[in-house]
Amino acid sequence: MDEAALIEALRSGDGQAFETLVRTYGGRLMSIARRMLHDEDDAREVVQAAFVAAFQNRASLPADSSISTWLHTIAVKTALQKLHDRPRMPEEAVAGYLPRFLPGGVHAETFAPWPERVEVALAHKEVAQQVREDIETLPETYRTTLLLRDVEGMSREETATIVDTTPNAVKIRLHRGRMALRTLIARRLTGDPS
Amino acid sequence: MTCRDVSRFLREYFEDELVPAERQDIEAHIAECENCRTYLTQYQDTIKAAQLACEDANVADLPEDLVKAVIAAIAQERR
Ligand SMILES: [Zn+2]
């Protein structure tokens, strides 16, 4: 079935089409939910709730749009609701993972080059797994922003709308999230505590 | 321009949001400062690493029990 025919069937509420949707996109939604929520049971709940929401809102699937974009947005919103239902943990500071400077603005650390090109390093399954764990380690607001911008490829404005903040806050969180993740990856790759 | 300034404007640098004079200042600093060169490369590599780590190739199929549960939940909706 091509995408246009599938959209048509989904809009009409066809059960077979929804099963195709679940089988085709379920794994991808599960990994987004896992990365955002950092909890297997919550991720399963979110995936289920997202598909139910997709069914309920099937009329909002634009005939000429991409199914995966539509579904991603629903899944991300569902995962964020879940995050916000959780008791609000004090946001751990990322300060410990950001670069430090000496008076005069010079870097306090010397950065060791990474031993392999990033494409080569990430081709190792265990390194890819470690980087996913590093992403999960980031405090929630930074993790969500980095995932939506750098991994899901959402625009700054889309991200700001979906997480209910300003585009400027998205810029700042993205930059800090990347710097913090760099530190975590550097520790993995160079075994260096810097 | 200090290392701190370079680090502050890295995102803008990569996303091409700086005016030419600011770009030139950063490039002049980087040409002289090996540590900032390494940092800049790693900042870019971090973005790539996040994307590579989360690529579809690393995505497993949805567990069959969850597929069944989702399909049942949707069937419940249509009643
Ligand atoms: Zn420098």
Which residues make Cβ contacts (< 8 Å) with residue A151, sequence separation at least 6? A35, B50, B51, B54
Model pLDDT, residue A187: 93
| Contact yes or no for A51/B73 (Cβ under 8 A) | yes
* Phi, psi of A101, deg, nearest 5: -130, 150
Side chain identity, residue A145: T
Encoded amino acid at B56, one letter: D
pTM (predicted TM-score): 0.85
CA-based R_g, chain A, Å: 19
State pLDDT tens for residues A52-110: 999 999 998 988 778 988 898 899 999 999 988 876 656 667 888 999 999 999 999 99
Kindly list the distances between the CA atom of residue A12 and the CA atoms of A85, A97, B74, in Å, as whole numbers in the listed order: 32, 50, 14
Judged by DSSP in three states, A113 sits in coil
Confidence of residue A3 (pLDDT cuts 50, 70, 90): confident
Cα–Cα distance for residue pair A79/A64, rounded to 1 Å: 25
Min CA distance, A194 vs chain B (Å)?
12
CATH class label, A94-190: mainly alpha
Interface of A with B in 83-142 (CB under 8 A): 99, 101, 104-107, 110-114, 118-119, 121-122, 128-129, 131-132, 135
On average, the pLDDT of chain A sits at 90
Query: What is the nearest CA distance from B52 to chain A, expressed in angstroms?
Result: 7
Partner residue opposite A101 with nearest CB, options B4, B45, B61: B4
Distance A139 CA to ligand 1 centre (A): 27
Check CB contact under 8 Å for A182 and B43: yes
Please answer yes or no on whether B5 and A105 come within 8 Å at the CB atom: yes
Q: Residue ranges of the domains in chain B? A: 3-78
B62–A18: do the CB atoms touch at under 8 Å?
no
Percent of chain A with pLDDT over 70: 95
Distance from CA of B20 to the nearest CA of A (A): 20
* Residue B58: predicted pLDDT: 63
- Structure tokens belonging to residue A18: 């929804």
Q: Which is higher by pLDDT, A131 or B60?
A: A131
Question: Distance (Å) from the C-alpha of residue A147 to the closest C-alpha of chain B?
Answer: 8
For residue B35, list chain A residues with Cβ-Cβ distance below 8 A.
Answer: 107, 110-111
CA distances to B21, B36, B61 from A106, rounded to whole Å, are 21, 9, 48
Query: How far away, in angstroms, is A145 Cα from ligand 1 center?
Result: 27
* Concatenated DSSP letters of B20-47: HHHHHHHHHHHHH-HHHHHHHHHHHHHH
**Tokens in use for B26?**
């950063």
Mean pLDDT of A132-143: 90
User: CA A120, A126, A127, A129 torsion: positive or negative?
Assistant: positive
Task: Tell me the mean pLDDT in the region A26-45.
Answer: 91
CATH class for the region spanning B3-78: mainly alpha
H helical segments located in chain A: 3-11, 15-37, 40-56, 67-85, 118-123, 125-137, 140-146, 156-163, 167-190
- Which residue in B10, B15, B25, B45 has the most chain A C-beta atoms within 10 A of its own C-beta, making it the best mutation to test that interface? B45
- Amino acid letter, residue B11: R
**Chain A partners within 8 Å of B47 (Cβ):** 150, 178
Which parts of chain B register pLDDT below 70? Answer: 56-58
Q: Structural domain boundaries of chain A?
A: 3-85, 94-190
Q: What is the CATH number of domain A3-85?
A: 1.10.1740.10
**A13 or B57: which carries more pLDDT confidence?**
A13
